């Protein structure tokens, strides 16, 4: 008999899409404090740190070239394409442009590790590259936003860095520390990790979709264009990263890891940061991106799964 944690984890992409759609069309949603989604994402990232295979990190010292390629492709393709799309199509809508850029300049998603594993890719490469992302991202966000005009968008580097430390870095380090102090914690907490991560993500999706639903309704005329732009923002870096990785002679497992690392950004984090620093309108692109990257990522990993 399949357990509830395993069932939730296996169907999480579909459940996330359903949660977002049902929340958007429902007249009711949970209203809570603004810091709650950040806390919930911190819990997800804590469980990520707790469940990491820290022994595989040692092998990464022989893959410095692969890590460098993953980082270069992430910050040239994902960030570059996001900036081009934002400035080309939404220069007159600074909050939407900022939301698009934010979606492409946050670290890779926790789902990238899951999909890499399912696709037979190198999960340790994704994990190490994600840690490097976390150090680069606050600087990349500020630099990428320089071209946005208007007083509606104002992001302080130090406030952004504080949010990264509280939501991403501290929970991840705490998870790794827990695993180090209690060596059997990762094995004993697998069911709790699956259940806690899945429920936290679903609640985050509900909260940020409910909070942003009114803004989406106010921008319905631009939604078809924005949807197409976000679709390109997700799919183009994935395809280009995989082709580039193969051209650079990375192994198939590493190329698949690079694809998910580059293409799947932590847009739940982007939406939370958008609400804090940009406003409801700025959270629209990350919400759409979150639905696309999880569903497309799932489809791609399933396709690769049959060719392992």
> Is 4 within a domain?
no
> Is 288 within a domain?
yes
Maximum average pLDDT range among 192-196, 205-209, 216-220, 261-265? 261-265
Task: Kindly tell me if the per-residue pLDDT of 152 is higher than 60.
Answer: no
Residue range 227-251: mean pLDDT, rounded: 95
Which of 109, 111, 115, 110 lies closest to 302 in space, CA to CA? Answer: 115
Domain encompassing residue 110: 12-21+31-303
> Is 205 within a domain?
yes
> Do the Cβ atoms of 133 and 260 come closer than 8 Å?
no
> Is 295 within a domain?
yes
> Is 143 within a domain?
yes
Task: Kindly tell me if the per-residue pLDDT of 30 is higher than 90.
Answer: no
265 in helix, strand or coil?
strand
> Is 2 within a domain?
no
- State the Cα–Cα distance between residues 148 and 46, nearest whole angstrom: 34
Number of domains present in the structure of the chain: 1
CATH of the domain at 227: 1.20.1530.20
250 in helix, strand or coil?
coil
Task: Kindly tell me if the per-residue pLDDT of 63 is higher than 70.
Answer: yes
How large is the C-alpha radius of gyration of the chain? 18
pTM confidence score? 0.84
Task: Kindly tell me if the per-residue pLDDT of 21 is higher than 60.
Answer: yes
Residues 86-125: pLDDT tens digits? 999 998 888 999 999 999 999 887 778 778 877 888 878 8
- State the Cα–Cα distance between residues 6 and 94, nearest whole angstrom: 41
Amino acid 57: pLDDT: 63
Say which residue the tokens 């394409």 belong to.
Answer: 81
Q: Compute the C-alpha angle 34/36/39, nearest 5°.
A: 130
């Amino acid at each position: 008999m399949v357990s509830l944690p395993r069932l939730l984890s296996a169907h999480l992409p579909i459940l996330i899409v359903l949660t977002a759609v049902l929340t958007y069309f429902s007249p009711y949603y949970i209203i809570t404090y603004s810091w709650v989604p950040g806390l919930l994402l911190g819990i997800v990232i804590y469980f990520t740190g707790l469940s990491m295979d820290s022994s595989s990190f040692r092998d990464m010292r022989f893959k410095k070239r692969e890590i460098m390629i993953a980082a270069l492709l992430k910050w040239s393709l994902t960030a570059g394409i996001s900036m081009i799309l934002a400035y080309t199509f939404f220069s007159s809508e600074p909050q939407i442009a900022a939301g698009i850029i934010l979606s492409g300049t946050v670290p890779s998603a926790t789902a990238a590790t899951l999909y890499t594993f399912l696709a037979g890719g190198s999960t340790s490469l994704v994990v190490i590259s994600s840690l490097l992302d976390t150090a680069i991202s606050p600087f990349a966000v500020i630099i990428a936003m320089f071209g946005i005009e208007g007083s509606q968008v104002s992001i302080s580097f130090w406030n952004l860095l504080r949010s990264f430390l509280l939501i991403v870095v501290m929970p991840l380090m705490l998870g790794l520390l827990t695993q180090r102090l209690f060596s059997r914690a990762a094995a004993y907490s697998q069911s709790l990790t699956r259940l806690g991560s899945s429920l936290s993500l679903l609640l985050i999706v509900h909260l940020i979709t409910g909070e942003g639903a009114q803004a989406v309704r106010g921008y319905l005329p631009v939604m078809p264009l924005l949807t197409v732009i976000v679709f390109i923002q997700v799919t183009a870096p994935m395809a280009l990263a995989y082709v580039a990785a193969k051209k650079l002679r990375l192994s198939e497992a590493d190329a698949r890891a690079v694809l998910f690392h580059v293409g799947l950004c932590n847009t739940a984090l982007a939406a939370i940061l958008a609400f804090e620093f940009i406003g409801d309108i700025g959270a629209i692109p990350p919400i759409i991106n979150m639905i696309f990257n999880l569903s497309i990522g799932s489809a791609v990993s399933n396709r690769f799964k049959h060719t392992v």
